[in-house]
């Protein structure tokens, strides 16, 4: 499986994304985000924007995810916490954008 990540500087990276991992785990392994709470819905440091082509392929955000998104910077209608997106057939080729700033962490 593959994920394309658009970075705040306008560049993009394509990452190998093993099925069963969360998108956060893939991005964190590539040192692109912090993912401080390890997917426990206690922060928004894994906030991403999901490309519109994939919006209908993902499960709706849970109430807990919606609550944490309320504290994310640069919130958009396509905002998601990458810890809540599991890599699988439906996400192969997924495109996400890391906002300029994700929670308190400046993304490099």
34-58 pLDDT tens trace: 999 999 999 999 999 999 999 899 9
Beta bridge partners of 5: 13, 96
User: pTM above 0.85?
Assistant: yes
Whether residue 80 contacts residue 58, with contact meaning beta carbons closer than 8 Å, is answered with yes
Beta bridge partners of 49: 79, 97
The DSSP line for 45-97 is TTEEEEPGGGGGGSPPPPHHHHHHHTT-TT--TTEEEGGG-B-SGGGTTEEEE
pLDDT in tens, 58-81: 999 999 999 999 999 899 999 999
């Amino acid at each position: 499986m593959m994920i394309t990540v658009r970075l705040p500087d306008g560049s993009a990276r394509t990452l190998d994304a093993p099925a069963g991992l969360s998108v956060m785990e893939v991005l964190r392994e590539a040192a692109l985000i912090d993912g401080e709470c390890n997917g426990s819905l206690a922060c928004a440091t894994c906030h991403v924007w999901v490309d519109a082509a994939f919006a209908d392929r993902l499960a709706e955000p849970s109430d807990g995810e919606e609550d944490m998104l309320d504290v994310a910077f640069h919130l958009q209608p396509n905002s998601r916490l990458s810890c809540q997106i599991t890599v699988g057939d439906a996400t192969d080729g997924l495109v996400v954008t890391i906002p300029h700033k994700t929670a308190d962490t400046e993304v490099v």
